[in-house]
Structure 1
């Protein structure tokens, strides 16, 4: 039964995954310029009837509500609020302290106004954790904005839900692997801000919503009535799925939150995806397909105009409980190796004109980072191409961004561990107002 569920999960995410890279406006038929279905794709829709839906498909592929309004309820007055304006706060010290080895002064879950990937008002959540120990460094207590790799489709999988409801409620065991980075920061007297960077629609790996939520979480903490962190220095950190969020915050700061220039002092990203076209083709139909397929379903939630490209099987599965899986479930799904072509209503979905349009939307490499960068990558990472990160780093160096690039021992998971020692010192420097080191090659004369 577990294997069957895994197979279905791959199917749903893959089929909807095709919708990530292929799609017209919501409710429309696929455009002719994107091609016709292959015979086997037509056979799928001729054989499998469309599901009976009680609401628009986009609504029914979203994660099941948690039952907690702070995560589920969309405020009716978002248009009247400023990005980063606080909507609600909740003390979550008791449940958060239970998983922290360092004594806490407090932990607060914050709900705030943010902006969707397509520019419309939405909301975000984040957890601010403050250690009991005093900060002995210069200036106000600094804040590490830690984008944990949520890598999930279900709302209950977020750090905010886990910290506020307890890790034994509906656990996302993947988060536990990355908790030491929080413990280390708290032990130094840093506050830690943990955004639920996939947004309220759980759009895993969509960089625009991730960057907006990251930056709005900083705005919210700085705008707290106490004013405690109004003069603090912030630095962003993330690995894998979290790296997308920290990197996006750096790339989007100038255009989305220019007042945070000088407040966010750096961004570190390890195991980072920068080229979605390359990753889509590399992951298609092989052992990495489970992650790719989960990502593409998630991104379709922020881009509902893509859903008409899903076939009937995709729609059946996407509206099932599979839309709520946590990050520790998507990796093993790749054992099935379902290709995208088995999912879409057009042939060659990864190479269609609409696919190119989507790749451009998700590509932030043409922008200039507003802050110094620390990029690191496992030498033998089989999932995320090393050369993509190297190319992005070279581009940012060419734009005059101070940066460091480290190739560290190991594959994707080991690279997180082996990359931390050098990263730790770099983070401390950004929070102590030290001049950022720059290892970019000199510009040619």
Structure 2
């Protein structure tokens, strides 16, 4: 398949993947039940009747649970190709016998990390640890802990900045830890360097923890996966180096795709990692998606459809039941070279801007029963953050409407969370830079142990 054809086909299918479209011939005995939705339009039926179904070799089900044979084969086919490094590629034995955050193995990656750290470092270690997938089953995560060369001269143990980078990718070799372990490479994601939180944190004497928050299946934008990996990476650091970091303060930050991880960790902390209450002292969140339905509708059929595409393919990996409802066009696109794309290439994929209905098998897919089910699984807005928040968003963000940040601030203030909200000038990418000074100043205060400020309005008497 040519690159142009892959781009066109993949863009046509992306929207269908995000809502889990229902095929006209679905057999309810071969997969999980889904809500009844309107049947396909004439155009949608024509697409399935015209495009032949791809054929995939038999494959094992995912570790999280058994799938029907055809669905297991498709799930395997949409996964990223192996990175070639077993620490990222191999599923560990005995995960069920480990607690979340327990170390599976670790590797010294100081020599390959030094250039990317920019600031002189003492050590960098790659951690592999037990975590939990979106359905509550044992899984594994990876993260890199970088310690600066400069000695920590402040009180107590060295603080740790948890930098959730905007990975925004489908390929296993696109993760920041892969780059830290292998140095610059052909699929290096330039997003690993922006915003420059890692270099800033190291220059302040803080250790920096960089989690691969998309998990082993590269489930971009799946909030529970991201939140679990981030919290378990903190547990892993405290387990592997207790003498250095048991008393450390940890503060989390992330922008856009990275903000999903920082936000989810804050929302899930009290229920998933309550022992980290007081250890994690704050979360800075910029350019965040909280309302997946709003953003999916906003991306539908315009120049942002490339981002919707990669999110959609990623969701099918973590929620394989979705894959049972893809049409033939969707299956071809989901198993094309797009499945290994890195963040730098996702934007150009959206240039064709094909609307969702071209790829779906149901009418009005964004307002269907199955869409309600999936968007509901991704929603964390009913939770209270376990840490103080710094929330910032671009005033003219045409990618992610600013209402996402506004609503989060109001919601968390109403729940009694100490929060600060900033509206940055410009659009999504510009706010990445204009919001950086305020973000790091707020993070710096939390890591120094200063009480978190709050600008929440006082309740009326």
With the length of structure 1 as denominator, give the TM-score of the two structures: 0.96
Change beyond 3 A, Cα 1:29–1:405 = closer
Is 1:246–2:299 an aligned residue pair?
A: no
* 1:221 alignment counterpart: 237
Change beyond 3 A, Cα 1:320–1:311 = same
Change beyond 3 A, Cα 1:25–1:106 = farther
Change beyond 3 A, Cα 1:24–1:121 = farther
Q: Distance in 1 between matches of 2:391 and 2:245?
A: 27
Q: Distance in 1 between matches of 2:27 and 2:128?
A: 32
Is 1:72–2:75 an aligned residue pair?
A: no
How big is the shift at 1:29? 8.6
Q: Distance in 1 between matches of 2:439 and 2:338?
A: 36
How big is the shift at 1:75? 0.9
State the SS of the aligned residue for 1:218: helix
* 1:45 alignment counterpart: 48
Q: Distance in 2 between matches of 1:118 and 1:363?
A: 14
Q: Distance in 2 between matches of 1:244 and 1:21?
A: 28
Q: Distance in 1 between matches of 2:258 and 2:27?
A: 29
**Farther-moved stretch of structure 1 (120-129 vs 324-333):** 324-333
> Which runs of 5 or more structure 2 residues have no equivalent in the other structure?
59-72
CA contact (8 A) 1:135 1:188 kept: no
Q: Distance in 2 between matches of 1:226 and 1:401?
A: 30
Q: Residues 375-434 of structure 1, C-alpha deviation per residue, up to 9 Å, x if partnerless?
A: 001111110110121011101000000000000112111101111111111111111111
Q: Residues 14-72 of structure 1, C-alpha deviation per residue, up to 9 Å, x if partnerless?
A: 44334289999894398571121111111111111111111321111111111111001
State the SS of the aligned residue for 2:398: coil
* 1:92 alignment counterpart: 109
With the length of structure 2 as denominator, give the TM-score of the two structures: 0.93
Q: Distance in 2 between matches of 1:213 and 1:6?
A: 31
> Which runs of 5 or more structure 1 residues have no equivalent in the other structure?
none
What is the aligned length?
Answer: 444
Q: Distance in 2 between matches of 1:31 and 1:354?
A: 6
Q: After TM superposition, which residue ranges in structure 1, 4 or more long, deviate above 4 angstroms?
A: 20-26, 29-32
Q: Distance in 1 between matches of 2:36 and 2:134?
A: 25
* 1:10 alignment counterpart: 11
* 1:106 alignment counterpart: 123
Is 1:390–2:393 an aligned residue pair?
A: no
Q: Residues 160-204 of structure 1, C-alpha deviation per residue, up to 9 Å, x if partnerless?
A: 1111111224312332333x2110110000000000000000000
**Which of 322, 344, 365 in structure 2 is aligned with 1:349?**
365
Matches within 5 A, 1:280-429: 280-429=296-445
* 1:438 alignment counterpart: 454
Q: Distance in 2 between matches of 1:107 and 1:100?
A: 9
